[in-house]
Structure 1
Amino acid sequence: MSPDPHQHDGLPDASGDAGKDAFGELLGDCVHCGFCLPTCPTYVLWGEEMDSPRGRIHLMQQHHDGAPLTPEMTGHFDACLGCLACVTSCPSGVRYDKLIEHTREEVEQARPPQDRALREAIFAVFPYPRRLRALRGPLRAYQKSGLSRIAGPALERLHPVLAAMERLAPPLGRAYRLPAKISARGERRATVGMLTGCVQREFFPQVNSATARVLAMEGCDVIVPKGQGCCGALSLHSGRGDEARAFAKKTIIAFESVDVIVVNSAGCGSAMKEYAALFADDPAWAGRAEALTAKTRDFTEYLVELGPRAERHPLDVTVAYHDACHLGHAQGIRAQPRELLRGIPGLELKEIADPDVCCGSAGTYNLLQPEAANELGDLKAANVQKTGARWLVAANPGCTLQIATALRRKGEEISVAHPAQILDASLRGLPL
């Protein structure tokens, strides 16, 4: 049985001998058995050994033994989605998650200036809700203008990253903010803090509203700290460790006064559950980080722990549930979303074939590796289509954007929702 990716100590500073020794020990855990191969998205696509987990571990070992980071080697590391399917499938307990995080930090430091500039531009916007908010107006006007039919092909010729951003942008409606507190309906059962996120807050505010309403209808006072910003997930999973720690410290401070933190984005929840490891070697922050990790819960995880109280009204609908990688593989949360959905009268839940294979979103992957991401998105969209479901349910904004875009490429317009939105409709007795 593979270990919980969040139950571990962080690697020591890679610049010291202790860090190198710890990394070398982790590399030695791989016995090259190949159990990871069928679950690795890039190996599924290309069948190339160096684009599998054990192949990348072989390259890591070469670099650990003194080989320089060549462009070819870096390309194989960049092609990894960091989906953690290999961690779930590994019978030897290989900590590929820690190996790729450590390696990515080295890759980021060794990038040529032109590659670094592109990533700096992306990370100058996406982890900052206010900067994302500034894009809403122009993007909404662009969407209403119908220019996408002309601009899309032009952007593809100009730069594939710009084209990917244009394709993935969701239809934007009215922007609105949650109040600082949403009071429980009826007798209060608990008080929880709620992470609003970056992309979730600015591009999917309806998901946050549904999350807060469901928690309130289940008897929770919901506290929305105003001082919160990015949790650091995108940075952490992209080899930008110092940046991730800076965001994490602000998140720890913002939520220090609440007893439970409810998170409705798989990538964010996964990152926050890694804070204890992220600050393991920082005496000033280790205890505070560990405390935050211990009280972080995914939305579906928390509702199952709390138990249902509000009445579920029937929904005559067929839904397909998608396992976000950072919910299923990283957090081990698979049963809880299904339990909540099956608890709604009239709802029929369909399973998607090959659920452990990533959809291709993976944080910034679908921006930086658009061709591979599109291939994976098309595979996932085809499997969603086969279910015949009217709705696709996913618990991560990146997955929602990725799969909806792939379905549109196939000429399929399927409704997409977060589990919170499905529950919200049922609890309020509203049709979907």
Structure 2
Amino acid sequence: MTPDLLDPIFTCLDCRACTTACPADVDVGGLIEQVRGQLRQAVPLTGWKALVSDVFLKGIFPHPSRLDWLGRLLKWYQKSGLQTVARKTGLLRVMPDHLAEMEAILPAVGTPVRRKYKHQPLIKAKGETKRTVAILTGCVMDVMFSDINEATIRVLTHNGNDVVIVPNQTCCGALHVHAGDRETGRKLAKQNIEAFQHVDHVIVNAAGCGCMLKEYPELFRHDPEWHEKAEQFAAKVEDVSKFLHDTGFKPPKAELNVRLTYHDACHLAHGQGIRQEPRALIESIPGVEMVAMPNADRCCGSAGIYNLTHPEMAQAVLESKMQHVPQEVELISMGNPGCMLQMALGVMKHGRNQKIVHTVQLLDWAYQKEEGKDVRI
């Protein structure tokens, strides 16, 4: 257990690009995560790293109620004027540079859909119901990007789907497994498998979460009972873009008239093999001009919490990514919240006036405009 082994394993982005490139189709990403689990058992975290892991990965993310309170605190920080004071007075300078930069691009915190629909767990389809689906609300997604969850619900109901908000769901466990904490990952997996056992479709709008859910069987390779349950569960999991594409979504009629480019989230393109479906959804919107991004499936450097644990390396990866983002576009679209934060950081640092959007938001705006609503992009 020397640095020669530890450094390469934990410095890896786990972006799965090597799996895509491998002619023998070796699941390198899965091997990396297995090794991380073994190394973390042999060499546990100590000091401040152990404290951060215990507080956030074990103490907050697995508990939706605690995440909700964290979201309320962030919302108060943004609405109370404290955020403005902290930025104007330079108070944020006491933080490490990469954390201060992340604070600068935090989105406005809304109301989590789990709380909003607590007493209305079934949102009916518009018109005839074609099928009933459940959505993974997620942890970071529902706290930081509740507007995307709202957009996902509207798009699904617009296309004839009743949407269920399953109450007992929890964090997917991706961050834990990436960090080598496979035991916590298994606990979260069991909770989700049981929570979604009575639904036929589990729709996910976060690439990293979707990839993790589909890989639950790997966590239970040596547990026949739970491996079978995990296999049945994984077969239900579908990324929202692929689900809409495969079930025949309604092409929007209203024009958006924007120029945009598309970034392939690693765990969508390399992890799930989903590339064309999101592009097909975007290209179906009248007035949208798609500008191809060279090396669109290169990692942006987010990689879960890699931009927090390896800020210098993540910044170098982001710099490389930004060199390929077309400057003439107004929007940069993608399907993963971690990528959205990282790419927003890149736009800010390069002084660009580009907006980061989720693919499903584009459809939602077009549908709303079609209904005569005022849409501001």
Tell me if both proteins adopt one fold, taking TM over 0.5 as the criterion: yes
Aligned partners of 1:376, 1:239: CA distance in 2, in Å? 22
Report the equivalent of 2:66. Answer: 131
Instruction: Note the C-alpha offset of 1:417.
Output: 1.2
Gaps of 5+ in 1: 1-68
Report the equivalent of 1:414. Answer: 354
TM-score normalized with structure 2 length? 0.90
Q: Deviations over 1:252-285 (max 9, x none)?
A: 1111101111111001100111112222321221
- Match of 1:102, SS state, is helix
Instruction: Note the C-alpha offset of 1:141.
Output: 4.1
Structure whose CA Rg is larger: 1
Instruction: Note the C-alpha offset of 1:216.
Output: 0.4
Q: Deviations over 1:158-183 (max 9, x none)?
A: xx6x5465355333345552441110
Aligned partners of 1:413, 1:376: CA distance in 2, in Å? 21
Report the equivalent of 2:46. Answer: 113
Q: Deviations over 1:62-83 (max 9, x none)?
A: xxxxxxx113431222211100
Aligned partners of 1:174, 1:308: CA distance in 2, in Å? 27
| 2:90 equivalent to 1:172 | no
Report the equivalent of 2:34. Answer: 102
- Match of 1:285, SS state, is helix
TM-score normalized with structure 1 length? 0.79
Report the equivalent of 1:404. Answer: 344
Report the equivalent of 2:331. Answer: 391
Give the counterpart letter for 2:35 in structure 1: T
Instruction: Note the C-alpha offset of 1:317.
Output: 0.7
Give the counterpart letter for 1:113 in structure 2: T
Instruction: Note the C-alpha offset of 1:248.
Output: 0.6
Report the equivalent of 2:87. Answer: 148
- Match of 2:259, SS state, is strand
Aligned partners of 1:387, 1:411: CA distance in 2, in Å? 11
CA contact (8 A) 2:174 2:209 kept: yes
Give the counterpart letter for 1:408 in structure 2: M
Q: Which residues in structure 2 correspond to 1:18-417 (within 5 Å)?
A: 69-109=1-41, 110-114=43-47, 115-123=49-57, 124-143=59-78, 144-145=81-82, 146=84, 147-149=86-88, 150-156=90-96, 162-163=99-100, 166-167=103-104, 169-173=106-110, 177-178=116-117, 179-309=120-250, 311-384=252-325, 386-417=326-357
- Match of 1:348, SS state, is strand
Q: Deviations over 1:90-120 (max 9, x none)?
A: 1232321122112111222214522433333
Q: Deviations over 1:336-377 (max 9, x none)?
A: 000010011111112212222200001111111111112222
Q: Deviations over 1:288-346 (max 9, x none)?
A: 11111011100001001110236432111111111000000000000000001001111
Identity of aligned residues (%): 38
Q: 1:76 to 1:168 in 2, by over 3 A?
A: farther
- Match of 2:180, SS state, is coil
Give the counterpart letter for 1:130 in structure 2: S
Aligned partners of 2:164, 2:76: CA distance in 1, in Å? 33
Aligned partners of 1:377, 1:152: CA distance in 2, in Å? 22
User: Structure 1 segments of 4 or more deviating over 6 A?
Assistant: none
Q: 1:240 to 1:312 in 2, by over 3 A?
A: farther
Aligned partners of 2:19, 2:268: CA distance in 1, in Å? 13
- Match of 1:383, SS state, is coil
CA contact (8 A) 1:378 1:407 kept: no
Instruction: Note the C-alpha offset of 1:387.
Output: 4.3
- Match of 1:213, SS state, is helix
164-173 or 371-380, larger mean C-alpha shift: 164-173
Give the counterpart letter for 2:50 in structure 1: R
CA contact (8 A) 1:108 1:116 kept: no
260-269 or 98-107, larger mean C-alpha shift: 98-107
Aligned partners of 1:355, 1:299: CA distance in 2, in Å? 20
Q: 1:274 to 1:163 in 2, by over 3 A?
A: same
